[in-house]
Amino acid sequence: MTTDILDDILDQPRMLAAALQNHLHPESAIDIAVQGILQMRPRRMILTGMGSSLFAAYPAYLRLLGAGLAAIWIELSELLHYASGQIGPDTLLVIVSQSGETVEALRLLADRRPSGSVLAITNNAESTLAKNAHWVITTGAGPELTVATKTYCAALLALTILAERIVGTTPRELAALLEPAVAAAGTVATAAQEQINNLAPEWFAPGPITLVGRGPALATALSGGLLLKETAKMPAEGMSSAQFRHGPLEISGPGHRAIVCAAPGPTLALDQKLAIELQSHGSRVLLIGSPAPNANIETIPLPETGGTSLYALIPLQVFARELAIRQGITPGAFRFIGKVTTDE
C-alpha cells in the first residue's frame, strides 16, 4: 500500500465541492445542529480538539468572537485536565476529531461527563465521539492515507459554515461566499506542484523552518508547521506573526527560513511588512497569499475569495511532500505514531 499523500492533496477540491453541497442542503446535519443551538442559546461555546483539528477551529472561533459571542478556543487536553469546570449545562461544547476516537475526547466524555450540549465534528459518523454527542456533523473527507490533508480542509469548511450559520448568515449567502473559494481550491491544487518545484533550492535543505500568520492565517501557519514535522520529519514552528515580533524575531538573519502566511483582512499589510523586514535581515522568506507591494520576495499567490483559508494550506501540503521526497523520506509515513492518537 502506498503512503504517498499526493492523491489525497489533489482530491481536496472535489471533496470540498461535494461537502459544501451537502452542508448547505436543507435539513443537513449542520442545519439541524444550528436550529438546536439557536433554541438552546448557549451562554458560552467551547471549540476544542487536538493537532490540526484544533487549528481548524481557530477561524470559526474568531468569527464567533467578532460577532460578539462568548467563545473559547482551547486544546482538548488542557480542557480535560485543567478547564472542565468551564463546561456547564448552558455550554455548547464543539469537539473536533477526525477519527472521533482521539484519547482526550474519549476521556473527557467518560471521566468528566459534560453537562452541556456536545456537538461532534468528525469524519467518522460511527465513532465513539459521534455516538455520545447531541449533534453530529460529518465532514465528508472520506478515506485518508496518513497525515491530515483532506480531513483538515473538510473540518475547516464544516466549522466555517457552522460559525456563519450561528451568526445569522443564510445558506444562500454562504453559497455565494464559499462556492468561489471551492473553485479556487482547484486552481491552487493544479498550480501548486509547479510553484513548489520552482522555489529556490535552499527551501529543500535540512533545517528548521518558521511559519507565521495572523487571524485565520494563523490556522494555516500552525497546521503547516505540524504538517512539515509529520510529513517530512522537519523541525518547523508555526506561530502568530505578532508573537514572532515579541522575541523570536531575534532568530532572523542568514540561515533562517520563514514562511509568512498572509491572508486578506485587517492585518494583511502587517504580515507583508514582516516578510519584507525578515528578508532585509537576511532570512530566506516565502510569502503564501497576497504578494507584498514593491518587494522582490518569493511568493505563492492565492486567489482572494471569502474563504481563502480553505485552500491556503494546499501549497504547504505539496511542499511538505516534496521536501520529504528530496530528503529520501516516504511522505506521510509515520515512524512513532499512528493515524489515531490513543495514548496520553
244 by DSSP, 3-state: which?
A: helix
Q: Do residues 152 and 278 both lie within one domain?
A: no
Instruction: Find the mean pLDDT for residues 268-275.
Output: 96
Residue 24 in domain? yes
Q: DSSP string covering 174-217, please?
A: HHHHHHHHHHHHHHHHHHHHHHHHTS-GGGGSSS-EEEEE-THH
CA–CA gap between residue 330 and residue 317 (Å, rounded): 14
Asked whether residue 99 is assigned to any structural domain, the reply reads yes
CA distances from 26 to 22, 23, 29, 76, 161 (A): 9, 8, 9, 31, 13
Which of 68-82, 242-256, 322-336 is the least confident region?
A: 322-336
Q: Does residue 303 sit within a domain?
A: yes
Give 1's pLDDT tier (boundaries 50, 70, 90): very low
Q: Give the C-alpha separation, 23 to 121, whole Å.
A: 12
* Same domain, residue pair 223 and 311: yes
- For the stretch 246-263, pLDDT in tens is 999 999 999 999 999 998
Same domain, residue pair 10 and 153:
yes
Asked whether residue 144 falls in the same domain as residue 193, the answer is no
Given a cut of 80, is residue 201 above it in pLDDT? yes
CA distances in angstroms from 87 to 66, 109, 137, 196, listed in the order given: 22, 12, 20, 44
Asked which of 131, 148, 169 is the last residue of a domain, the reply is 169
Burial of 61: CB neighbours in 10 Å, binned 0-12, 13-18, 19+: buried
Q: How much is the pLDDT for 95? A: 97
DSSP secondary structure letter of residue 292:
P
Is 112 a residue whose pLDDT tops 60? Answer: yes
For residues 163 and 209, membership in a common domain is answered with no
Let me know if residue 174 belongs to a domain. no
- Does one domain contain both 31 and 136? yes
Count, residues in the chain: 344
- Residue 290 pLDDT greater than 50, yes or no: yes
What rounded mean pLDDT belongs to the chain? 93
| Tally of structural domains, the chain | 2
Cα-to-chain-centroid distance, residue 199 = 24
CB burial readout 250-278, b (16+ within 10 A) else e = ebbeeebbbbbbbbbbebbeebbbbbbeb
**pLDDT at residue 2 in the model:** 47
Report, as an integer, the average pLDDT of 96-120.
91
What confidence category does residue 344 fall into, taking pLDDT thresholds of 50, 70 and 90?
confident
The answer on 129 and 206 residing in a single domain is: no
Q: Residue 333 and residue 339: Cα distance in Å, rounded?
A: 10
Task: Give the domain-ending residue among 169, 200, 220.
Answer: 169
pLDDT at 114 over 90: no
Residues 124 and 255 in one domain: no
Identify the domain containing residue 243 by its residue range. 182-326
What is the layout of strands, in order, in the sheet containing 209-213? 236-240, 209-213, 257-262, 284-289, 298-300
CB contact set of 91 (below 8 Å; sequence gap of 6+):
42, 43, 44, 45, 46, 114, 115, 116, 117
CATH code where residue 47 lies: 3.40.50.10490
Q: Which of 283, 321, 310 is closest to 197 using CA atoms?
A: 321
Residue 341 lies in a domain: no
Residue 337 is assigned to a structural domain of this protein? no
Q: Does 338 fall in a domain?
A: no
Confidence at 48, pLDDT banded by 50, 70, 90 = very high
Reported as half-sphere exposure (CB side, CA atoms, 13 A), residue 142 has a value of 13
The yes-or-no verdict on residue 314 having pLDDT over 60 is: yes
Residues 150 and 293 occupy one common structural domain? no
**Separation of alpha carbons 103 and 342, rounded Å:** 5
Residue with the bigger pLDDT between 151 and 2: it is 151
Based on the fold, state whether residues 46 and 138 are members of the same structural domain: yes
**pLDDT of 311 higher than 60:** yes
Residue among 311, 318, 339 at smallest CA distance from 51:
339
Rounded to an integer, the average pLDDT of 294-310 is: 92
Q: What is the percent of the chain where pLDDT is above 70?
A: 97
- pLDDT band at residue 144 under the 50/70/90 scheme: confident
The verdict on 27 and 118 lying in the same domain is yes
Give me the sign of the Cα torsion angle 269, 272, 274, 276: negative
306, part of any domain: yes
Q: Check pLDDT > 70 for residue 338.
A: no
Checking if the pLDDT of 325 tops 50, the result is yes
Return the residue matching grid coordinates 469524519: 123
Secondary structure letter of residue 92 according to DSSP: E
Dist. CA 142–CA 124, nearest whole Å: 9
Question: Of 267, 241, 265, 263, which Cα lies nearest the Cα of 310?
Answer: 263
pLDDT digits (tens, 9 = 90+) for 4-36: 789 999 999 999 999 999 999 999 999 999 999
- pTM of this prediction? 0.94
